[in-house]
Amino acid sequence: MAKRLAGIATFLAAALIFAAPVKRDPADLPPKQLNRYLDMCRNLDRNLQGGNYGGAIKIGKRILKRFVSEDPYAAYSIAAAYAALDPEEFEGEEDTVEEALSYLDKAIEWGFRNVQTLELSPHFARIRKEPGFKKLVERLKRILAEEEKNALPNYAKKVRAKIKGAEKLEVAIKTKDFEGKPFDLEKYRGKPVLIIVLRPLHDGVRIALPELKKIAGEAKKQGIVVLGAVYNWRYSDRLMKQAVEFLRKNGVTFPAFPVEYKWLKKYGILHLPSHLLVSSRGELLCREDGILPLGKLKVLLQILKEEGK
């Protein structure tokens, strides 16, 4: 009887999560829905990178229908999965190219800005020469150029205003590094720190890594400590091994430590990669999420150097 009641309770809890109103922004999701959303995003990555394109499409559409109605990364992932599908093996009624372009259009409309991923990700190799795909890439480039032109002159001012007006939060990170040794941010006290939050199977993170490593190199030259926070939902031997392989394969040389979904939720990190600016006192100054143009990243480094002391 106890097991039966526990099963009913679990079913009802799941039903309540799915019954909650869909949001436009993951930040608006209630705690239980947010946990489920983050788990589904990780599974979306896993299916996309593992070649289970049908599974990626199913999960991505479920995210849009039940959790976040205008999630740019879910829409991008659906587009990538449709683009990578072999039409001869696909048994659905949809036109895979048409669906890929449709969801990519939605992703851009909802805020997807990683043009490098569109140009380099192998998922789009089949449709990269399609006129519709080329038009979307050119459109995104125009949007990025316009946004940077309008935003960059006032970007430093806006970031400094957030720092000045924001409550200083302690970044208490006590965990283990990827060698199983204790990791504590306290040992970096006295220097400003840039934390780059990554996820091993995230398509945008993987493509952005060359630029992120350049930024890390530039930050080190300016006396800024660079750390990687690798998100993998929860701690386990399998996921730790996956994270280590990801770091080694991509030549990430700056120190990195694992974080789970609770850490992301605590600091409101919902779009990857994410950049956390931490002062020499160990306080979180501000956070910038998503793929940032090189110009903005350089501004962040300068601000961190000035404000992080």
On whether residue 113 sits in a domain, the answer given is yes
pTM to 2 decimals?
0.84
User: Residue 171 — very low, low, confident or very high, per pLDDT cuts 50/70/90?
Assistant: low
Tell me which of 184 and 15 has the higher pLDDT: 184
Same domain? For 136 and 182 the reply is: no
On whether residue 257 sits in a domain, the answer given is yes
Residue whose tokens read 């849009």: 64
User: What sections of 166-275 are H helices per DSSP?
Assistant: 203-221, 237-249, 261-266
Number of domains in the chain: 2
Same domain? For 224 and 296 the reply is: yes
Determine contact, residues 236/208, Cβ cutoff 8 Å: no
Same domain? For 23 and 141 the reply is: yes
Q: What is the chain's percent helix, strand, coil content, to nearest 5?
A: 60, 15, 30
User: Residue 11 — very low, low, confident or very high, per pLDDT cuts 50/70/90?
Assistant: very low
**Which of 87, 12, 104 shows the shortest CA–CA distance to 53?**
87
CB burial of residue 27 (10 Å; 0-12, 13-18, 19+): exposed
On whether residue 160 sits in a domain, the answer given is no
- Using one digit for the tens of pLDDT, what is the confidence trace for 220-232? 888 899 999 998 8
Same domain? For 134 and 175 the reply is: no
CATH number of the domain enclosing 134: 1.25.40
Residues of the chain with pLDDT > 70: what percent?
91
Least confident of 7-11, 23-27, 291-295: 7-11
Same domain? For 181 and 290 the reply is: yes
User: Residue 16 — very low, low, confident or very high, per pLDDT cuts 50/70/90?
Assistant: very low
Same domain? For 218 and 113 the reply is: no
- Using one digit for the tens of pLDDT, what is the confidence trace for 83-121? 999 887 777 778 999 999 999 999 999 999 889 899 999
Same domain? For 127 and 24 the reply is: yes
- Using one digit for the tens of pLDDT, what is the confidence trace for 113-152? 889 899 999 999 999 999 999 999 999 999 999 988 888 8
Answer yes or no: is pLDDT of 7 > 90: no
Q: Could you tell me the residue range of the domain that residue 72 belongs to?
A: 16-145
| Mean pLDDT in residue range 189-206 | 89
From residue 20, alpha-carbon distances to 31, 88, 242, 269, 305 in Å are 11, 38, 33, 21, 43
At residue 49, the pLDDT reads 93
Q: What one-character DSSP code corresponds to residue 23?
A: B
Same domain? For 297 and 173 the reply is: yes
Answer yes or no: is pLDDT of 2 > 60: no
User: Residue 17 — very low, low, confident or very high, per pLDDT cuts 50/70/90?
Assistant: very low
Query: In the predicted model, what is the mean pLDDT of the chain?
Result: 85
